[in-house]
Amino acid sequence: MMTTADHAAWMARALFVAERGRGRTNPNPLVGAVVVSPDGVVVGQGAHLVAGGPHAEVHALRVAGDGARGATLYCTLEPCCHIGRTGPCTERIIAAGIRRVVTAIEDPNPRVSGGGHARLRGAGIEVITGVCEDDAARQNAPFLTWITCDRPWTVVKTAVSADGYVGSSRLTSPRTDRWMHRQRAWIDAIAVGADTVLADDPHLTARGAWRPRPLTRVIVDWRGRVPATAAVYSTLSAGPVIMVGLDTVPATHRAALRSRGVDVELFESRRLAAVGAFLADRNVQSLLVEGGPALQQAWSGAGLVDVVQYIETPAVLGEGVPVAPALAHWVNGRTPTRMFGADRCVEGTWS
């Protein structure tokens, strides 16, 4: 008989398998599935690898074949019960002869939202939920935030000198840079403010890490100060670039950007919640706000931040732009969660 510890161990394996789809499943969630025989042998496993492709349960059941009959299916998210680009997984599970389904979290998608569990129970299948629930919620935080809050799950990342400044000087080590570009390789979008573009003229691309799909770049330039010749506006081959501005941005500037293929989106006010909702409508589930301090202060002040990554470096600048006050207050007294040589990264939920 399977114990609570057994369920947790198999679910941990399903969560591990789910990571195979990271950065490729948008707008779908990450999902992993493992099929375990009554005598405790894995007979099939799989992950959802790309939007529009087979779901994790389908992959796992195909591998299991006849071994699925009487087995237990572990799935990191409630199986779907509706027809989208693929058929409902609940019917595949029932037809395969699965005896028990163990899931981590319920799917908040209104088209599912408990319906998958109900369908399986109605077919006489035992359903156990909530196994490794917190781990699964962390893994799918972008999808869950997007569905329930109508905005992207948002990370604010800043690199700070030992004396509290950010700026155009190269602060972080090559090891830290590699980690940051790996993050850019799976995140949906990066946002920076006009001051950052004017000071650094960045490309905002993922370098040294493979990215399987386009990366959206968002330039928050309320007054239209960034020239159309900025480097980021020449990188559309890496993904779309969106200029966010007020509706008072001069028409000539809008036209210059649009002639380069930039998506110009204008708003009546600087209300960042409206920007978040706009990005959510564009299927941006995860957003990395990289700079600068003014934009990060505004984003945190609007209550739109989920995670902070505060990288402390040993460099001393002596002068420059101070880190956003909200982030300086947040990091006070916290201990590093990871080290990149001499660089110390403090990462945690925004509060």
Active site residues: 57
Instruction: Write the DSSP assignment of 171-191 as a string of letters.
Output: -S-HHHHHHHHHHHTT-SEEE
* Contacts for 167 with CB less than 8 Å, ≥ 6 apart: 161, 199, 317, 320, 321
- CA distances in angstroms from 22 to 78, 199, 211, listed in the order given: 18, 32, 10
Q: How far apart are CA 337 and CA 115, in angstroms?
A: 39
The answer to whether 109 and 82 have CB atoms below 8 angstroms apart is no
Q: How far apart are CA 351 and CA 300, in angstroms?
A: 10
Q: How far apart are CA 122 and CA 53, in angstroms?
A: 27
Tokens of 296: 């990060």
Tokens of 37: 């025989």
For residue 347, list its beta bridge partners. Answer: 309
Coil vs helix vs strand at 151: coil
- CA distances in angstroms from 178 to 93, 182, 207, 313, 316, listed in the order given: 41, 6, 8, 15, 22
